[in-house]
Amino acid sequence: MEQLLPVNGIRHPWPLVFIQGAGQTATNFLNTPDGRKDWASWLLDQGYEVYLLDQSCRGRSSYHDSHGPTVTYPAELAEKRWTACRDFLLCPEAALHTRWLGSGRMGDPIFDAYYASTVPSLTDYAAEQALMQAAGASLLDRIGPAILITHSQGGTHGWLWADARPKMAKAIVAVEPSGPPFQSTIMKDAAAKQYGITDVTLTYDAPPDRIDERGRPLQSKEHIAANGATYLLQQEPARRLRNLIDIPVVLETGVASSHASYDLFTVQYLRQAGVKVEHLELADKDIHGNGHLQFLELNNLDIIQLLERWIARIA
């Protein structure tokens, strides 16, 4: 855990805690691979106290083999899904991706600098989430109330930290959090997210104990998206996320990311469970061309300035 303090003093009541996505470390939020200022550095300039962490068993948080195997995302996957996705078109939205600097391919110095910063992650998401929830609760007990800023796979930890310490999590900024509900889009694990938006239990107003036909402890129902894909929400009457209902949430989505096709279902799931969530789609704010690693892209400061306005309203 790294605490960063603004040079000219703290000007906001609550610190910001960043939680990165799978295979990443806190370095993602300090500087971009081409040497520009990143989100955490810009927020320091605005007078925010910032905490940066590496997830359990990753980076500076030492790994022990008792926690199980790890996986490293290959460079080819990063090219296809995040940096050169327009070359591969794994989803229709990828054709709109224009904000990554350079070619996004192996051999390009910006891609190589980015990929050199990636690290192994635990393959067992449930084990990782249990470790991170305990660590997050301990951190919030130590530093006090904070605003959580999560990205991708780190999004599950934001829900779990807030569930464990609802009075300490003052707001959640979820940047394209792991989704959609009950599914994993990269690992293709049929057992993913047994509790809707996490792999370990959350506090619902009635315990999730009714096993559905898919073997999940929450009853789910299929919904067909505009693109023809099938997504799952809770079957009504939905159980409410008792510890999250009073926490403001903004869920942000880029136009050129695969999340553009399914983040809406994460938003609907949260609203169905009683969570007050605003869906901030960058295209609606005339910010275009961004993929999943938007904090590293050409217009990254335009995005954090937009998010900071939401944070300032909450704080």
CA distance 181 to 217: 13
Tokens of 160: 């779990």
Residue 244 sits at the vertex; the CA angle it makes with 2 and 315, to the nearest 5 degrees, is: 55
Enumerate residues 6+ apart whose C-beta is below 8 A from 104.
Answer: 79, 82, 83, 84, 85, 87, 110, 111
Say if residue 20 is exposed, middle or buried (CB neighbours under 10 Å; 0-12, 13-18, 19+).
Answer: buried
- Return the DSSP state at 7: T
Q: Which of 56, 152, 220, 257 is flagged as catalytic?
A: 152
Q: Is 152 a catalytic residue?
A: yes
At 226, the amino acid letter reads: A
How far apart CA 70 and CA 191 sit, in angstroms, is 18
**Token representation of residue 43:** 């927020």
Q: How do strand 230-234 and strand 220-224 relate by DSSP bridges?
A: antiparallel
- Contact predicate 271/236, CB 8 Å: no
* CA 186/CA 306 separation, integer angstroms: 28
Q: Is 82 in contact with 93 (CB distance < 8 Å)?
A: no
Task: Label each residue of 109-150 as H, E or C.
Answer: HHHHHHHHCCCCEECCHHHHHHHHHHHHHHHHHHHCCEEEEE
Active site residue ranges:
152
